[in-house]
Amino acid sequence: MTLGAQMIIRKASAILLRKVEYGDHDVVLTFLTPGEGKISAFAKNAKKSVKRFAGVLELFTSLEVVVRQGKGLPYLEEASIVAPYEAIRSDYLKSAYAGYWAEVTIQWLEEGAPQKRLFALFEAALMALHDALRSPGAVSILFQLLFLDIAGCAPSLTHCSGCGVSMEVLSPGRVPFDLERGGVVCARCRPESRHHMPLSPGTLKQLRWVLREGLDGAFRLRFSPAAEREGLFLLERFLSRHLGREPKSLSFLWKIRSPLPQGAFL
């Protein structure tokens, strides 16, 4: 719907990723939407408007929003809750994981590009994180691995990242993952790896299964404690490498989370 020559009203499903205070009463919001990917909007008087926004603009909430596009930053006209995911915000560890995913998403995406697959992944991850029976760490493994797949940067887990030989049939013992090359390496290429982590065959099989099944089946998987530790250790470092820096939210997550004793790059 067009209003005049300069103003456009847009409606969208959205997940609130970031909220930054602007002055005494306003906030600047960053949303993930399926049709336009990352969008930012200015919510005028959001901190004092009981009628329009009270209790609605909470981080990691699934919303329906109405945005008015004029000159400059769009304005948020309306917002209604689809799913509040309140169990995430009431748990500091779950909030830390969701904050990490949000920072990664914001840093990676450009404004305005459709992101239907990523939006579906983020919603599925929030639903799983909200579930009291799911391990937050296991959900984060699924999010990170499928995020990397959507971004075209998934780790190579079926072929040697050095020579390309198939590694579908695993030999006994742990399999080295080369962080610089972005995948597993065979015995011949291992001596050339300057920075690698040994993965157990069980962990590698589960990570392969996630990439093979995709979003439709991945969230049915349950990781063993050992596989969860190895998977988190690997993917948090692998994803940071592709982003070009370590997210601030990841540093905070490491401080509040129990240490991951297994898994070390050599």
Same domain, 91 and 219: yes
**31 occurs within a structural domain:** yes
- The residue out of 59, 84, 109 marking a domain boundary is 84
Print burial letters for 212-242: b (CB count within 10 Å at least 16), e (below 16): eeebeebbeeebeeebbbbbbbbbbbbbeee
Same domain, 20 and 106: no
Return the pLDDT at 3. 42
Distance CA 201, CA 153 (A): 22
Q: How many domains does the chain divide into?
A: 2
Distance CA 213, CA 206 (A): 11
pTM summary value: 0.91
Return the pLDDT at 259. 76
How does strand 183-184 pair with strand 196-199? Answer: unpaired
Whether the pLDDT of residue 130 is over 90: the answer is yes
> Greater confidence, 50 or 223?
223
Of 208, 155, 207, 165, nearest to 186 by C-alpha is: 165
- The residue out of 60, 84, 108 marking a domain boundary is 84
- The residue out of 84, 112, 145 marking a domain boundary is 84
- Confidence class of residue 26 from pLDDT cuts 50, 70 and 90? confident
164-194 pLDDT per residue, tens = 999 988 767 889 999 999 999 998 998 887 7
**92 occurs within a structural domain:** yes
**223 occurs within a structural domain:** yes
**55 occurs within a structural domain:** yes
Containing structural domain, residue 6: 2-84
Same domain, 138 and 191: yes
